[in-house]
Amino acid sequence: MKNIKIAVIGLGYVGLPLARLFSTKYQTVGFDINQKRVDALMAGNDDTLEVSNEMLKEAIQKGFICTTDLEKIKDCNFYIVTVPTPVDRNNRPDLTPLIKASETIGKVIKKGDIVVYESTVYPGATEEDCIPVVERVSELIFNVDFFAGYSPERINPGDKEHTVEKIKKVTSGSTPEIGVKVDAVYNSVITAGTHLAPTIKVAEAAKVIENSQRDINIAFVNELAKIFNLMNIDTHAVLEAAGTKWNFLPFKPGLVGGHCIGVDPFYLAQKAQEYGYHPEIILAGRRLNDSMGKYVANEVVKLMIKKGTPVKGAKVLMLGITFKENCPDIRNTKAIDIYHELREYDVEVDVYDPWADPAEVKHEYGIKTITEYPTGNNYGAIILAVAHHEFMTINLQDHKDNGCIIYDVKGILKKELTDGKL
């Protein structure tokens, strides 16, 4: 354990907090291909806000470094891959970042070294897709010259309570002995403890079903919201009443985006189809959740029509573009679906989000956000799409008194203030 030197490949929402944590006990190097990101981190600034600037600077002072230079990770012997695993426009798993990271590992891995993957994948991806790449580039033999493990990430972006060391970690290894070693390394820094899975595939499957389960449960309450809205029944009141039973699961309706829940079920579905099984519940849940942005936009348009507000050319203010509250992450946000659907009605949409980087939103979605909360009362509707803390102090009553429709996607505003909600 004393001779462990760790390299974390990929310094995003998952990799940086993990690398910082490992640096408290081991010599640790963070590697990323984005020079701008590395420069910012070495200056003590994490724009994902997952690691405080003070904590990052302290780690750097004690020897933690971030780099784009392969030479600086060649003397490591415990490599951890934490790159994104997205889907393409057809919702098929895109392993490109994972394959490129495996090529990087292949260039530096040596006899006796271990590579652990944390990126969310379908069962079998580590040993069937990634390891062959490492073998090809390194010309080393798997489970003879080098070894592997899988320890699925459980980072919850923006959550300052359930930080990486406080979340129990699933671990696994390519042999029983390596599994024990991988588990020991993680267990030395994870205060919540670890769970050693019997195989890599079990660990991979455990991760991918965590978010699939949440996706399906949210899809169920989203469908309830659609049904109860037709019946003019308050969905949140129904869930509150049902929640008085001890074993009722507390899920709420909403937009399901982000880089985990909105993506991971497609990885499991893809692998199931390769085995000749068409997953019905998993894909049905995905379809329903993916429809919610369009549903919200259409509900707002209906409310405008009922109120006599002209739709074509109307101005709508959308509060929030990130995929979740109090977090700058805009990846796979479903708030953008509301925007696009409203634009189909020739509605002019202003997007205000104090957490989102305007340049990043422009690059990712091609839209320009406003950087200050507008003071005028010229909106036909305001949609609370994301529950940022900042939005809780906004005075929406003035807008409502001026005839503006208030739609609450998150179900957190006072009932008398809203004209509609999920």
Among 108, 39, 41, 97, smallest CA distance to 73 is for 108
Element of type H or E holding 240: helix 235-242
Q: What are phi and psi of 170, to 5 degrees?
A: -85, 135
Radius of gyration of the chain (CA): 23
Count each helix (H run) and each strand (E run) in the chain, helices first: 15, 13
The residues that are catalytic are 260
DSSP 8-state symbol, 96: H
- The edge-to-edge listing of strands for the beta sheet with 381-384 is 348-352, 315-319, 381-384, 405-408, 420-421
* Tokens found for residue 408: 């609450």
Question: Contact, 120 vs 260, CB < 8 A?
Answer: yes
Q: Helices 280-290 and 264-274, interaxial angle, to 10°?
A: 150
Q: Which residues of 4-29 are buried (b: 16+ CB within 10 A; e: fewer)?
A: bebbbbbbbbbbbbbbbbbbeebbbb
Residue 20 one-letter amino acid = R
